[in-house]
Amino acid sequence: MKFQRVLVTLMVLALLTVAIPVVTQADTEDDSVISITDSRGVTTNLTGPAMHVASFGAFATNTLVDIGMLEAAVIFDASTSEFNKSAIPEMQGMPADRFVTVSSSNKDMVVQTMLGLVDDGKWNKSSDVVLGFGYSYLNTVWADLEGYDFKVVTFYPNSYDGIVQVVEDIETLTGANHSVSARMTFVKDYIGQTLEDNGIDNDTERVTAIYASYSSETLKIGNN
């Protein structure tokens, strides 16, 4: 069908014509307040980008890889280890002590692991941030961490725009520039505008796949 061929062509062109960004932390000291309200409605305030983050979820680790800020993570969810079926290539060779199983049944170990990072001088409770998924069954884990004054930001996107916001928030929290989230927005806007220019402006004519990404030899298509 015409609109399907047009959409696929546009997705490929949009992704190929946007340069892959090189992301670094800000070159200048920025002491402006960062304020992020997470999926639970909890607002976290920082006086600047976090030096360290806990990446508790494959979504967070993949995002850190894509925005060039993986080095900010000092601890990971064990689901992203190289031994897990959902392994992320960048995790290969990472020491076993950089992982902890994040679950409600293992919350005491999560807390003890984080407290150990504090004792070792690898974590600052006032400026570093835990990134976690907003599943309700993990709420007890986040509550326990917050009980020890750890800053936790959770994410639970349910749309393409929500995914873009997650990336933008993690960029903000880590001090990365916003070129990746901007690229994602551009792809959606470019496809939407070009479809409209080609007379495909009826929702019934559109397919739901509007975003594609290619990273680490993996093609992903997201739905809106």
Residue pLDDT, tens place only, 102-132: 999 999 999 999 999 999 999 999 999 999 9
pLDDT number for residue 125: 98
Please state, rounded to an integer, the average pLDDT across all residues of the chain: 83
| DSSP code of residue 51 | S
pLDDT in tens, 25-80: 444 444 578 999 999 999 999 999 999 999 999 999 999 999 999 999 999 999 88
Alpha-carbon distance of 68 to 70, in angstroms, equals 6
Q: Domain 51-176 belongs to what topology?
A: Rossmann fold (3.40.50)
Alpha-carbon distance of 189 to 138, in angstroms, equals 34
Let me know the angle formed at the C-alpha of 151 by 50 and 112, rounded to the nearest 5 degrees. 105
Domain boundaries, the chain: 51-176
Please enumerate in sequence order all residues whose Cβ is within 8 A of that of 123, keeping only pairs 6 or more positions apart, or say none.
52, 74, 114, 117
- Indicate the Cα dihedral angle 18, 19, 24, 29, nearest 10°: -60
